[in-house]
Amino acid sequence: MIPFSAIIPNFLGHTLTTPRFNLHMFKMLGQGAYGVVYLAHNTSNVGSQPDPPLYAIKCLLKHKKDTLLGATQQRELAIHKSVSHHPNVVTLHEVIEDEHYIFLVMDYCSGGDLFGAIVDRDTYDHNDSAIKRSFLQMLDAMEACHSLGVFHRDLKPENILCSADNSQVYIADFGLATKNSISSTIGCGSSTYMSPESLGYVNGGAPFSTATSDVWALGIILINMITGRVPWRNAIPDRDAAFRNYLREGASYLYNILPISREVAKLLSRVLKFDPASRMTIPELRKAIMKVETFRDTAAQFSFLDIGESFLTNPIMKISFDFRKPTPSTASIVALRPSRVEQCSSNPGLSLNAVNLEEFPLPPPLARENSDSDTDTESEGPATPVTRVQDPEIQVPDDLQLDEPRVQEHSPKLKYDLPGLRQKKEVVIKLWTSLSAGYGPRVQRPVQKMVNAVQRVRALA
């Protein structure tokens, strides 16, 4: 399906003028499925300021408010506006609307996102103070959001932005946020950071707490910051061997497979509880983080290096392997970390012997979650139209079902006449292929059934 951003005109070089701002957009920062983000400087007081302040301008297609997309869009603006006063939430300064587009004027975070801080800049590598400082800021921001009845539902490193010196982090992107403390929407978010209940694997997909799902995502982000890896791809027991091992072994599994301290392994086992009712709350998590002395394991030094072929390194020995070959056994990993045997034997809460020696997958490396389709296409368009300022004080009912993806209302319908069925075979196959590529799995199944039915009729003829 063509992303909305592909049909947004190129506003690079144009200026947005309001009573408060005179924003010249001089650089494109990026684009995703729904919009394009520009870097702009405010030239309204350029004479009195040698360095005009910078802002991030997010351009979106404007949808009619009486449609599902329009209601979702207005909800995002209203929710973001309601929490943007917090120092660790990206500030939404102004919403500028015209007939066809919406421009969000936000703070520009020159440090990029948390993913870049973890993977590209090694900001948190063996840096306990930086981990604690940034994670406490996230907890403060999310506690404030929850107190205002706002639940993010898409917390991940890509949606957390950083200051230039990485001393401050800011929660961003409230596109999937909700005011509902209890949700029945399954599959809303980015899979690696979604809790089992939000994936439909607790109580048969029963309604669940959105607050505890945010806590789960924070736990995964903490692992990202400490190790640069994710503990599993998704929290689905019958699909992910690593997650099955964790459910069986708990803190022991996390301690054995990740370079984290014993106290952090225990803490994470309380954050990542399969039962959401027994999961730590944000205030409890904050107190526990304050008490952590070290996040990394200091007894055994090893790291994962992703350079085509992966290596486990240790001052004692080194094992190399290719991801196309079987991963090292637990015995091999334990051999790299002999000091852990003694530590675990003296700590009944952490055990090496309990770990399954046959099923011990390595934790996957941290990778960007591409929940949105990206495009590199830029389209030419008219100059920036006349704009008007509008404060997004929008009332969207909490019980409005805005989260379920829907197939386009006017999906193509195919009609067949039996006498000409043989001649229509190629048309059927081509149209089915185009539908499958354009509309995704929700359309593939009925179209496939239709094609199967046509083939059965042909067989009878």
Active-site amino acid positions: 154
DSSP structure string for 333-389: HHHH-THHHHHHHT-TTS-STTS-SS--PPPPBP-----S------B--PPPPP-EE
Strand partners, 95: 104
* Residue for token pair 């949808």: 63
Residue by residue, DSSP assigns 24-74 as EEEEEEEE-SSEEEEEEEE-TTTTT-SSPPEEEEEEEEPPPTTSHHHHHHH
424 assigned binding-site residue: no
Measure the CA–CA gap between 27 and 388, rounded to whole angstroms: 23
Let me know: does 117 contact 111? Beta carbons within 8 Å.
yes
Query: Cα separation of 245 and 254, whole Å?
Result: 9
Q: d(Cα 106, Cα 84) in Å, to the nearest integer?
A: 10
CA dist 115 and 47 (Å) reads 37
Fill in the amino acid letter for 335: A
Backbone φ/ψ region at 325: left (φ over 0), alpha (ψ -120 to 50), beta: beta
The residues, any chain, with a CB within 8 Å of residue 271's CB and separated by 6 or more, are 215, 216, 218, 219, 222, 279, 280, 285
Contact 185, 404 (CB under 8 A): yes
Nearest-angstrom CA–CA distance, 187 and 196 = 10
Compute the distance between CA of residue 441 and CA of residue 244 in angstroms, rounded to an integer: 27
Joined together, the tokens standing for residue 269 give 């086992």
Q: Which residue has the tokens 């009332």?
A: 395
* C-alpha pair distances (Å), 418 with each of 415, 448, 452: 10, 18, 14
409 burial via Cβ count (<10 Å: 0-12, 13-18, 19+): exposed
Bridge partners of 22? 17
Whole-angstrom Cα distance, residue 198 to residue 215?
12
Distance CA 272, CA 136 (A): 18
Which segments are annotated as binding site for ATP? Answer: 58
